[in-house]
Amino acid sequence: MQPAKELAALLGTKREPICATWIDLIEQMPDMQAMGQSALDLHMLTTHGLDVLVACLSTGSYATLESYLTSVYEAYLSADADVADAIDALFLCKEATMSVLRESIACGSAAMLDACARMDASLRHAVTFLARQHAVATSERLRERQERTEALLEIVRAAASTLDLDEVLRLVADAINAVVRVPDCNFRLIDEERDLLVTHYFADAEDSGLASGSSSRMPDLSLSNLGGFGWRVLEQKVPAVCVNTETDPGVLREWTRLYGIKSILAVPFVVKGRVVAIAFALTYDAFREFDQEEIDVVSGIANAVGLAIENARLHQRIKGMVIVEERDRLAREMHDNLAQAVGALQLKASEAAAYVAQGRTEKAQANLDELQDMISEAHTDVREAIFDMRTVVSPAEGFLPTLQA
């Protein structure tokens, strides 16, 4: 029998003690607790790994080893685990194997040296393959993060370039949805004067990415009746997560039940130390944990566009004030000019009708001539008023130039 196959057969007979020793060594690793592997997981990983090593020695092919390492990486290392821990565990496999083989092979013998050489070759291939796979996966994650960051920056720039509150919040909702992948992201605006958390209604909920029956249809809430979850966001000015609304005592159970909300990520928008709005990313079908990277990215979005939201709200308030003032002006002008003109026209028309009834046609004609002049003058006044009400500056020029004009 060839030496490689002899070694494979020997490892097969020593499978249980080698795996037991390997597990003991892994459990002594400093970061073992951080890896979060259960005893069952470790037993499956080590026994499968040793079987793969035996197959490699028997066939001379590394295909099964590479398949094993790929499955391990996808299952345990693709997220945030340190690949160095996996490499350390691979080296411990040799230590466990050699400690058991010493019972059957004399130290320093040709057979022992050959076994060490073959184990080293397998480990070198495994470490190289695992490191290469990790490098490719890391590069791909960095590329995805860069693309996502660029897309989010574009959304932030777009949000900062408009004073339309509805448009700003739509863009922010799109950005948050892209990060945390939830069906619904909606907003509550802080109204400190009225002590309210005011629901923002999008003009068209279907275009805003909101789910049907969305909680954006929830009525306004008093700031004093938010519950512990809402107060954490307002007081601490940091994002808060509720994974399970059915067990979290801080959420308002009546509206989470009413709208079927399962999980919540609440993100405050802070301007000069004051919360001006809160975005709620919600799930309805299943409970959801939001990882720290998602929370950090969404928090970064909130920090970047908080001022844009506040500016859009200020613009909206100014527009409302201008509309009210314009209505008052029009009311005064109509009372001072148009109402008096219409009253005079009514008087002249009555006089003309009375002259006609009396057969005094010359007087009636004179009144009608005056009436026609008065109507022409009133018509000119109305046309001037309409012209004055028209916008004579371009909104495309921006808020300050338009306001100055």
At residue 245, the 3 state secondary structure works out as coil
pLDDT in tens, 235-261: 889 999 999 998 888 888 887 888 889
pLDDT in tens, 187-236: 888 887 777 778 787 655 444 444 444 555 667 777 777 778 888 888 88
> Token match 């094993």: residue?
68
DSSP string, 135-173: HHHHHHHHHHHHHHHHHHHHHHHHHHT---HHHHHHHHH
pLDDT in tens, 167-178: 888 888 888 888
In the structure, what pLDDT confidence band is assigned to residue 80 with cuts at 50, 70 and 90?
A: low
pLDDT score for 222: 78
pLDDT score for 70: 85
Find all residues with CB under 8 Å of 64, minimum gap 6, and list them: 52, 55, 56
In the structure, what pLDDT confidence band is assigned to residue 305 with cuts at 50, 70 and 90?
A: confident
pLDDT score for 213: 43
What mean pLDDT do residues 318-344 have? 71
What mean pLDDT do residues 309-338 have? 72
* pLDDT surpasses 50 at 354: yes
In the structure, what pLDDT confidence band is assigned to residue 323 with cuts at 50, 70 and 90?
A: low
pLDDT score for 88: 84
pTM above 0.75, yes or no: no
Amino acid at 70: T
